[in-house]
Amino acid sequence: MASVSIDEAMRRAIGLAARGLGTTSPNPVVGCVLLDPAGEVVGEGFHAYAGGPHAEIVALAQAGERARGGTAVVTLEPCNHTGRTGPCTSALIQAGVARVVLAVTDPNPVAAGGAATLRAAGIEVVTGVRADEAEAGNIAWLHAVRHGRPFVIWKYAATLDGRSAAADGTSMWITSEAARTDVHALRATVDAVVVGVGTVLADDPRLTARNLRDGSLAIRQPLRVVVDSAGRTPVGARVRDGAARTWVATAAEVGADPDGRVDLTALLDLLHARGVRAVLLEGGPQLAGAFLAAGLVDRVIGYLAPKLLGAGPAALGDAGVWTIGDVIDLDITDVTRVGPDLRITGLPRSRKG
């Protein structure tokens, strides 16, 4: 096999890390590529599930003795503590690697310090290679460690004039099957899907990640969360079926805000305590507005259909903006065509980082 550059190896490691999205929480996604002294790939791996072997361990097992004197290229600083698995720093030292190249340093004080341990053992450590790209791929976990709450993605579907339904309330389907398939893939990468009780009463959604063509479910399902201040979710609602875990979060259980509704900050705190690191907020306009007004949305993903309604409910309700000077600005990070629709991704500027 031909030798590869460190940059190419890190790009490969970032791609490997992404395979763990949706299955590693409360742990991060991590990828590792091992190069021998000549620069040839001799092992690679990613962290697949919480409690399972870390990326470095998988790659070292593949490489065996070929790792000695080589370079480990890792998306996140190797862990320096013993949890459900041993420290990766010890494994790298014992394997005899000469250099470790990492993208992002570990902000978790429990596991941090790996770079210092490796340097103390005589291993060269290089940091910051493709750091922005690696951080973006691991943003939910990094955000949760830094801020103590899950990373919240607000997803919505609307016509080009911003309507989420027609004047008579019908909304199936505003976007195409391609867009809906894309949403199911997105659900499979998060730990929880959150909707309000109004969405449950109006649409009776399943909120599972599945294949739209054959109805099969993804291997792992996110927790379904219904924000239901007064406990109005019907016993027979589809979110109560056995396809996935469901939590009907009431004000009595979570805590109430001054208006008697579920306290959203307390809700996120409880989800974080349950190991949730990435949340997909799916509906409806009032709940989305409340999250935005509270500054609790970290990414916006809008699916815009090339259709016009002219009337009907807007995709977003009251978000606490009373004047143009208070507008919530977004930095657009991606625009992709999905079937006939557009998927636009943006970051609220106050929530960046």
Where in the sequence numbering do the catalytic residues fall?
A: 56
Cα separation values, 56 from 45, 52, 59, 115, Å: 7, 12, 5, 14
Type of residue at 73: V
Q: Which of 35, 37, 40, 43 is nearest to 16 (CA)?
A: 43
Instruction: State in Å, rounded, how far the first CA of the chain is from the last one.
Output: 39
**Pair 91, 72: CB distance under 8 Å:** no
Q: Cα dihedral angle (193, 291, 167, 259), rounded to 10 degrees?
A: 110
3-state secondary structure of 155: strand
Give the ranges where the chain is alpha helix by DSSP (H).
6-17, 55-63, 88-95, 114-120, 131-137, 139-147, 177-187, 197-203, 251-254, 264-273, 285-293
